[in-house]
Amino acid sequence: MARRESFGTSASIPPGFVRMPPRSNFFRTLGRTYVKEGGDGAPPVFGLHVRPKHANRHGTGHGGFLATLADTFMAAFIQRQLPEIGGMWTTGLTMEYRRPAAVGAWLQGHLVGMERTGDTVTIRCELRIGALVVCRATGIFKIVGKTRPR
């Protein structure tokens, strides 16, 4: 059974998702964010509800919010899938917007592909509402500092 969360309207949290602690003060500004671990080497799925504070004047998730979310989720994918990486920063971000995400919608971040070449990781993800793709993102991340041993 799905849990309920309130942020002005009622919204359910799908089964299997657990709340992620904020990784930084900036991450905290996104609001409550959740993760569902993939298991057996599969990537996790991240999720959150589009809240009124994320909306543009049309009542849907602002493009800047969606880009921030994709960038944040891609960094989290890298940290979980490549734990040997110590630090990184985004050097490139490309967005392809497909459809709006209404306030109250449960938005999920799905890893589509990832490739590491030297000190660069190129990653692709989709933000989806159910099976509908809201946007696709490609990020390029530069690995900085020391890498942790595997």
Report pLDDT digits (tens) over 62-113.
Answer: 999 999 999 999 999 999 899 888 889 999 999 999 999 999 999 999 999 9
Q: Distance from CA of residue 81 to its chain's centroid?
A: 14
- State how far the Cα of 41 lies from the Cα of 71, in Å rounded to an integer: 22
Of the candidates 146, 19, 132, 127, the one whose C-alpha atom is nearest the C-alpha of residue 73 is 127
Looking at residue 60, the DSSP 8-state letter turns out to be B
pTM beyond 0.85, yes or no? yes
Two tokens, residue 46:
């991240």
Cβ pair 73, 128 in contact under 8 A: no
How many Å from the N-terminal Cα to the C-terminal Cα in the chain? Answer: 37
pLDDT for the residue numbered 28: 83
